[in-house]
């Protein structure tokens, strides 16, 4: 399930990036640089989760760690879907990347 979650994080930008540049996304004007950052924040979040999740798994166990990761994953997607400002999209992508990368490690 974690691999599927990370796949949705990585694949989402491939499907929506052209639409975001042509139209506004929730009233946000998005240019080429912003699309690049939107895609990059997920991988930055995944990289940031590698070490902390290893320690977290040792403390609570892998199963409980993956259950706990659903919270930042859902919050991240809610921020992306209901973003009113660009920073909300960036934060949402970082959180989904963080949780997705942690799923892959756990």
Sequence-distant (≥ 6) Cβ neighbours of residue 7 within 8 angstroms: none
Spatial distance between the Cα atoms of 40 and 19, rounded to a whole number of angstroms: 18
Task: Give the C-alpha distances (Å, rounded to integers) separating 42 from 36, 47, 61, 71, 73.
Answer: 11, 9, 25, 16, 11
Contact 96, 79 (CB under 8 A): no
Spatial distance between the Cα atoms of 77 and 98, rounded to a whole number of angstroms: 12
Q: For residue 27, what pLDDT is reported?
A: 81
Q: For residue 49, what pLDDT is reported?
A: 94
List the chain pLDDT tens, one digit each, 106 residues.
Answer: 777 888 888 888 777 767 776 767 778 888 888 888 988 999 999 999 999 999 999 999 999 999 999 999 999 999 999 999 999 999 999 999 999 999 888 7
Number of structural domains found in the chain: 1
Q: For residue 53, what pLDDT is reported?
A: 95
pTM: 0.87
Structural domain span for residue 15: 2-105
Tokens of 102: 């942690």
HSE at residue 14, side-chain half, CA atoms within 13 A, is 5
């Amino acid at each position: 399930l974690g691999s599927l979650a990370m796949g949705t994080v990585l694949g989402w930008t491939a499907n929506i990036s052209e639409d975001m540049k042509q139209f506004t996304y929730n009233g946000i004007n998005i240019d080429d640089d912003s699309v690049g950052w939107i895609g990059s924040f997920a991988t930055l979040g995944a990289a940031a989760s590698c070490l902390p999740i290893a320690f977290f798994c040792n403390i609570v166990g892998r199963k409980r760690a993956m259950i706990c990761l659903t919270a930042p994953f859902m919050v991240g997607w809610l921020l992306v879907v209901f973003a009113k400002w660009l920073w909300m999209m960036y934060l949402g992508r970082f959180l989904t990347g963080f949780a997705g990368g942690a799923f892959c490690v756990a």
